[in-house]
Structure 1
Amino acid sequence: MTEHVLVERRGPHLRLVLNRPERRNAITVAMYAALADAITAAQDDAELRVITLEGEGIDFTGGNDLADFMKAMPQDGETDIPVWRLLRALASNQVPLIAAVHGNAVGIGTTMLFHCDLVVAEEGTRFKMPFTELGLVPEAASSLILPALAGRQLAAKYLLLGESFGVEEAERFGLVTHRAEKGSLNERLGAVIATLLSRPPEALRLTQRLLRGTSQDEVLERMTWENGHFSERLTSEEVKNAITAFFTARLKA
């Protein structure tokens, strides 16, 4: 467990909060492990009726903590690293899952949303998946789910070019389900949670499973495919050069 992920139980509601605001909630290996453990454990909790993913501070998350991630690069054939465990947990989750996003949602901060049942986004939220900029490939089955949601051309815009997009566009192609005015994210989230908790719990769980249907196997298969390429890319000169350039640019900023 890590202090950078708050795990808070409120009766039938489990809150998972990214709590590293001084680093814009950049996700470390320890944070991935804490999130994966919490979501996995939730599957056996019959009293649990909703999980929320939230971020403390000015951003939902700035994505991977690259320095931390590169120190813990997966070895050849390794499939049980914390980030892969989190992605599998998200894809296999059977508890209604809501994300509340604001500020920046970068990299996995966007791709994890594809596995949420509902996404509440504050006006001004910026989504970005800069994988190719870093010499990497998409993860979280985003190469499968995003084209299915937005169409291949928009998916190429976001994944090949790494262009950012806002709440209005995200709502239009189906990533965002609820919009919140500036400063009202918690209020909007609370209303969605209250509606879910007013529904019969077994009906909720069964409906959530039906919505995921037979696509789960395909999603997990695509994750495995993506993860293989991702792991290979991490050892490439392209990635090393791109990440060096990223840190150099940040130091100059």
Structure 2
Amino acid sequence: MTDAILQQRDGGLLTLQLNRPDKKNALTRAMYTRLAEALEQADADPQINAVLIQGSSECFTAGNDIGDFLDQPPSDLDTPPFHFMKSLLNCRKPVIAAVAGAAVGIGTTLLLHCDLVYVSRDAHLRMPFVNLGLCPEFGSSLILPRLLGHAKAAELLLLGEGFTGEQAAAWGIATEALSSGEATLAKARQIAERFDTLAPGAVQITKQLMKSVDREQLRQVIEEEGALFTQRLRSPEAIAALSGFVTRR
């Protein structure tokens, strides 16, 4: 079986590649666990200076694997998806994301916790939580209104409207939009490798200072969202919407 999370270490850079092309890199419980463990190991390894998270040049991730979710929905905050969220939130090393193609659900919200995000201009990002009978997760209900204002955040979260990589860069969700998927992966790697030339202690302290404002409030919001998200997964609205999605697929 193909490894759904490929790990590659080059100098002080750890690359985590989502590698499930037949399912558009949809995330399973096992993939969340692998990602969380890799982030925690990178955080503890003094030889790792940065982490790069990427998909392929055609697709970042379609979000959660709905069939996997329906088979064993998260019941509390100790389950693999929330373990991954906590690991990314707590990572002291800089995390860079390279996004081409689809970035759906957590494929978009995880970007809010990366330090540098490079996207292809035609990437398609979307957070269709309400459309699936669910609610926002990973702090997006706090971060997006602050970043974009209530009206634009409502368009993305209440209506589940999609947006392009070019828009993501213009709104501050991404660092830069590139001309193609290949260019996006190359630029993200080029930037990630620069951390091998920078003082690791200074980088980590700077990240800590940048993330320290309202950190506890963000943690509380993530926990509140998570509790409500798990409740919503068991709601008739979500069960009908998710089951309908699997049937259409």
Q: Normalising TM by the smaller chain, what interval?
A: over 0.9
Deviation at 1:249, TM superposition (A): 3.0
Aligned residues: percent identity? 38
Amino acid at match of 1:150: L
Give the TM-score normalised by the residue count of structure 1: 0.93
Higher RCO (CA-CA < 8 Å; seq separation 6+)? 2
C-alpha separation in 2, matches of 1:29 and 1:213 = 29
Q: Write out per-residue CA displacement over residues 140-194 of structure 1, whole angstroms, 9 at most, x where no aligned residue.
A: 1110111111111111000000000012211122111022211312321232123
**Other-structure match for 1:32:** 32
**Other-structure match for 1:21:** 21
**Other-structure match for 2:72:** 72
Q: CA RMSD in A?
A: 1.4
**Runs of 5+ consecutive residues of structure 2 not aligned to the other structure:** none
Cα pair 2:57 2:100 within 8 Å, conserved: no
Amino acid at match of 1:25: N
Aligned runs of 1:112-131 on 2, under 5 Å? Answer: 112-131=110-129
Amino acid at match of 2:48: L
Aligned runs of 1:35-46 on 2, under 5 Å? Answer: 35-46=35-46
The structure 2 residue matched to 1:163, chosen from 146, 156, 161, is: 161
Q: Write out per-residue CA displacement over residues 21-53 of structure 1, whole angstroms, 9 at most, x where no aligned residue.
A: 111000011000100111112221112111000
Cα pair 1:32 1:83 within 8 Å, conserved: yes
**Runs of 5+ consecutive residues of structure 1 not aligned to the other structure:** none
CA, structure 1 residues 107+189, in 2 after alignment: closer, same or farther (shift >3 Å)? Answer: same
C-alpha separation in 2, matches of 1:191 and 1:73 = 38
**Other-structure match for 1:5:** 5
C-alpha separation in 2, matches of 1:91 and 1:153 = 26
C-alpha separation in 2, matches of 1:61 and 1:72 = 20
C-alpha separation in 2, matches of 1:69 and 1:48 = 32
Amino acid at match of 1:92: N
**Other-structure match for 2:105:** 107
After superposing the two structures, state which structure 1 stretch, 28-37 or 55-64, moved more.
Answer: 55-64
C-alpha separation in 1, matches of 2:194 and 2:234 = 47
Give the TM-score normalised by the residue count of structure 2: 0.95
After the TM superposition, list the runs of 4 or more consecutive aligned residues in structure 1 that deviate by more than 3 angstroms.
Answer: none
C-alpha separation in 1, matches of 2:186 and 2:84 = 28
**Other-structure match for 1:246:** 245
Amino acid at match of 2:119: A
**Other-structure match for 1:234:** 233
Deviation at 1:196, TM superposition (A): 2.9
* Residue correspondences, number: 247
Q: Write out per-residue CA displacement over residues 222-247 of structure 1, whole angstroms, 9 at most, x where no aligned residue.
A: 11100110111111111111112222
Cα pair 2:67 2:246 within 8 Å, conserved: no
C-alpha separation in 1, matches of 2:194 and 2:43 = 21
C-alpha separation in 1, matches of 2:157 and 2:203 = 33
